Structure 1
Amino acid sequence: MNLAGANWAVITGSSDGLGKAYANELAEKGFNLVLISRTKSKLENVKNEIIKKYPKTEVKIIVFDFGKSSFSDYEKEIFPILDNLDIGILVNNVGQMHKYPDYFHLFLGGPEKVAELATVNTIPCSILTSKILPKMVERKKGIIVNISSASCYHEMAKWSLYCGTKRFIKHFSACLHKEYAPLGITVQAVCPMFVVSNMTHYQATKSILSPEVLVASAIKTIGHTSETTGHIIHEIQALGFAFPSFFVDPFISILSKTQKQEILAQQKTK
C-alpha cells in the first residue's frame, strides 16, 4: 500500500458489509482508521473488534447520517477530524438501495426516500473526495476507492434510481482516474455483482460472495486497475452484460420479480 503515502484510512458506511470488510483489511495492513456511519453502537462494535485483533491500530468513529445531513453538518462533524489527520486512503462505500425493485412512481417512501437514496449514493462520495484530495495532490500519493455496483453496466428496469446513482459513481471515478493518475493518485471504482449484506438480504453461495471474500480480492487490485468487480467470479458474471438488451432484459425482469416476491414474503412473516 505504498501508493497511499500516509497511514490513515477513511471509510464510510463502515459499520457492516463491504465497509467493515475494508476496515479490517486496511487495519491488517497497518492503517489507522476513521469509520463513519450512522449507528453508534455498530461503529463501536466494529472499533472494538478491530482493536482486539490489531491492538496497534488507532480507530476513530464519527456518527453521521449521510441521508439527513447538510453541508454545514459535514463542516461541523467530519471536517475538523479529517483536518488533523494525514489521510492516505478514502473508501467511499456508504450507499442505499431500493427496498425491492418496482416502478419508479411506486418507489417505497415516495419523493422523500427518493431524495435520500439519491443523496446518500452520490453526495458523500463527491464531498469527501473533494475534501481529501488536496493533501493527496500535495504529497503526490493517495488512494480513493469508490464502491459502485455491476448494475451500472446495464439499464435495469425497476432499479432506475439505484442503477443511475451507481452509474454516476463509476463514471465519476473514471473521470477522476484520468485527472489524477498523472499526479500520482490512484482512483478505483469497485462494481461488484451480488454480495451478502443487510441491504441485499442475500445468503452466501459460490456466486454470491461475502463482503470479506470480495474485499480480500478487490484490495489486491488497487494500483493495477481503475475499475473492477472485485473478484474473478464477479468478472465472469458481469460478462453477461455484454449481451444485447433483448437478451439481458428478460433475465433481469425475472430476477427483479422474484426478488420483490421474496422480500414481501419475508416482511409478512415478521
Structure 2
Amino acid sequence: MVDCWCGSLVYFLGGATALYYLLRWSWMIWRGIQVYVVSRMWQTDLREFGQWAVVTGATAGIGQAYAIELARRGLDIVLISRSQEKLARVAAEIESRYRRHTRVIQADFTEGHSIYPTIEEQLKGLEIGILVNNVGMNYAGMLVNFLDVPDPEKRITEVINCNILSVTQMSRLVLPQMIERSKGLIINISSEASSNPQPMLTVYSATKIFVTYFSRCLQAEYQPRGVTVQCVIPFLVSTNMTHNVKVSPLVKSAASFAREALNTVGYSSFTSGCMMHALQHLALKILFPGWLRLAPFCVRRIERISQETRQILEERIAQCEKKRER
C-alpha cells in the first residue's frame, strides 16, 4: 500500500512539474510572439504621448537611431549630446527628411549635476511625451579588471555620472508634466550586461543593473498615473561603443534595432528590443548562467582572452576615434 501511494505521489509530482513547465514555456512563446511579431503589424501611435521626444546621446549609435525613428513616426525631437557640430548635423537630417521640428541642447553628461539646470531651462514650455535615456559609456572599451581602468579616479566617476545620474535626473525633469497630463513614455536603455554580474565589466555592468531596477520600480510607481517606463536591454548593436562590429544575423544595426524596439512599446515594459536579442538572452541564460560567469576558472579564461585580443581591440578603438573626429 505504501509503495502504491509513493508511486502515485511521484507520478503526480512529475505530471505537475511537466505541466508547470509546459504552461510556462507556452506563455513565454506567446508573449514573445506578441512582443516581437504582433507588434510589427499593430504599432502603438507614439504621437499620443505628446508632441516632443527628448533623446540623450542623440548624435550616434542607438540614440541617433531612436531620434530618427521617432521623427519618422511623427514626433518633434530634442537632441541632447556634447558635440554641437554633430547635433546640428542630426537636426538638419531630421528636418530635411521628415519635416519635423528639432531643438538641440549641448551637454556633457559626464560632468555631473551642473548640467541639469540648463537642460531644465531649455525644456521649459515643451510638451514632452517621450524621453529616451540612451546616453551611456563604458570605461575602457575592452574587458579589464577594476583596478586596470585607465585613469580610474576620473573615468569611474564619468561612467557613473553618464550611466546612472543622467537617467535619474532626466527622469526627474520630465516626469512631473507627464503625470500632470496622465500620459508619457520613458525609455531607458540598459544592457544585456545587466542580466548577470559581468566580471571585467564591473562598473559598467553595475550601472546597467541600476538602470534596469530603476526602470522597473519607476514603472510600478507611475504606470497607475498614466506614465509608461520601458527598460530595453539590447545585446550587441553595431555602434561606436561596440567598435562598429559588423552587422550580422546576431548583431543588429542601430537603425534596425531602434525600429524594432519602438514597436514593442505598449506590448512590454521590459524588453530585449528585438526577437534575435531575446533569443540570445534566453540562450545565454541557459548556457552561461550567473554562477558560471563568476567561477574563478571562467574569470581567468575571460582575462586570458582579453589579453590575447587587446592589440586588435586597441587598433579598432583607434579607428573608431578617427571616425568620430571626422
Q: Flag whether TM exceeds 0.5 (same fold).
A: yes
- 1:112-159 deviation line (CA, Å, top 9, x unaligned): 111001110010110110111011111110000000001100111100
- Counterpart contact for 1:195–1:210, Cα < 8 Å: yes
- Counterpart contact for 1:11–1:23, Cα < 8 Å: yes
What is the RMSD of the two structures over their aligned residues, measured on CA atoms?
2.1
- Counterpart contact for 1:38–1:64, Cα < 8 Å: yes
SS in 2 for 1:78: helix
- Counterpart contact for 2:198–2:205, Cα < 8 Å: yes
Is the counterpart of residue 94 in structure 1 residue 135 in structure 2? yes
Counterpart AA for 2:312: E
Give the TM-score taking structure 2 as reference length: 0.77
Per the alignment, residue 198 of structure 1 pairs with 240
In the TM superposition, residue 266 of structure 1 has moved relative to its aligned partner by: 3.8
Paired with 1:265 and 1:2, the residues of 2 have a C-alpha distance of 41
Equivalent pairs: percent with the same residue? Answer: 34
Paired with 2:134 and 2:64, the residues of 1 have a C-alpha distance of 10
Paired with 1:3 and 1:124, the residues of 2 have a C-alpha distance of 24
Q: Which runs of 5+ in 1 are unaligned?
A: none
Per the alignment, residue 54 of structure 1 pairs with 98
- 1:162-219 deviation line (CA, Å, top 9, x unaligned): 0000000000000001011111111100100011111110221111111011111000
SS in 2 for 1:9: strand
Q: Which runs of 5+ in 2 are unaligned?
A: 1-44
Paired with 1:259 and 1:196, the residues of 2 have a C-alpha distance of 19
Counterpart AA for 2:125: N
- Counterpart contact for 1:5–1:139, Cα < 8 Å: no
- Counterpart contact for 2:199–2:293, Cα < 8 Å: no
Mark the structure with the bigger radius of gyration.
2
Q: 1:120 aligns with which of 162, 184, 188?
A: 162
Paired with 2:83 and 2:214, the residues of 1 have a C-alpha distance of 28
Per the alignment, residue 281 of structure 2 pairs with 238
Q: 2:265 aligns with which of 197, 214, 222?
A: 222
Per the alignment, residue 82 of structure 2 pairs with 38
Paired with 2:314 and 2:192, the residues of 1 have a C-alpha distance of 24
In the TM superposition, residue 60 of structure 1 has moved relative to its aligned partner by: 0.3
Counterpart AA for 1:147: I
Paired with 1:130 and 1:32, the residues of 2 have a C-alpha distance of 21
Counterpart AA for 1:30: G
Per the alignment, residue 210 of structure 1 pairs with 253
Is the counterpart of residue 145 in structure 1 residue 195 in structure 2? no
Per the alignment, residue 314 of structure 2 pairs with 264
Counterpart AA for 2:72: E
Q: 2:106 aligns with which of 63, 66, 71?
A: 63
Structure 1 pair 31–3 and aligned structure 2 pair: CA distance change class (3 A): closer
Structure 1 pair 133–197 and aligned structure 2 pair: CA distance change class (3 A): same
Per the alignment, residue 66 of structure 2 pairs with 22
In the TM superposition, residue 34 of structure 1 has moved relative to its aligned partner by: 0.4
Give the TM-score taking structure 1 as reference length: 0.92
